[in-house]
Amino acid sequence: MQKRPTKILVIRSATRILDQTLVSLHEEFPGCHITVLVPQSVKESMQQDSKVNEVLAIPDQRRMNIASYGKDNIRQLQEMEFDLAVSLYNIDHGLGYSNIDLLACAAKAKSVRGYNSRGTFVEVTRVTATKKSFMEKTSFFWVAINYIATSILFVIITFALTGEWFFRLLFGKKQTAKVIKTVSPTSAREPVKVQA
């Protein structure tokens, strides 16, 4: 009985490493069948690539994710029974790509990988993708909290310094005048000469 070719879904989320990843996949899985999920605007050009067997399109949007692809399309991906789903990262650690990881996991392939710009990959599970998503969202939350706290502290310090300046302006001259009165030329003593 002849084994069917390995079915691979590649989500085109990082264009600069797409070609090297396709070459790497063909070397690792000779005779594989590669389906690439791309934004609608590049579907035609992607169909010209000889390393790709099938091209699926997702509506052009700022971010590719489960919501932008739609439940019906996700169900069709699941019915295609992929052996491997691949997310592409422009950066080594893959932070910022949790939406792509979750989309790859939603295809319910037997395994999911995240390929980075060095050509290496990490295994991705729904748990790791969800954890990455949580880290991304909470890091944005803490950055926002940090900006708000910094702004509040800036306002408080500015008011405090302005208040101090007004306080010195109003009450500082009176103290200076008193100091001048106490150190007058008539109250200064002449040095005493000591005879030997």
Query: Does residue 61 register a pLDDT over 90?
Result: no
Label residue 69 exposed, middle or buried (CB < 10 Å: 0-12, 13-18, 19+).
buried
Distance CA 49, CA 195 (A): 111
Distance CA 133, CA 102 (A): 9
Distance CA 77, CA 58 (A): 12
Split at pLDDT 50, 70, 90, the class of 180 is low
Distance CA 162, CA 155 (A): 10
Predicted confidence (pLDDT) per residue in 108-133, tens digit? 989 988 888 777 787 787 777 777 66
Distance CA 36, CA 87 (A): 11
Classify 86 as helix, strand or coil.
Answer: strand
Split at pLDDT 50, 70, 90, the class of 195 is low
Say which residue, 21 or 144, is predicted with more confidence.
21
pLDDT for res 178: 53
Structural fold of domain 7-134: Rossmann fold (3.40.50)
Indicate yes or no: pTM above 0.85: no
Query: Does residue 176 register a pLDDT over 60?
Result: no
Classify 149 as helix, strand or coil.
Answer: helix
Query: Does residue 84 register a pLDDT over 90?
Result: yes
Query: Does residue 83 register a pLDDT over 90?
Result: yes
pLDDT for res 146: 77
Cα angle for residues 28, 111, 66 (degrees, 5° grid): 120
Nearest to 25 by CA among 34, 17, 16, 15: 34
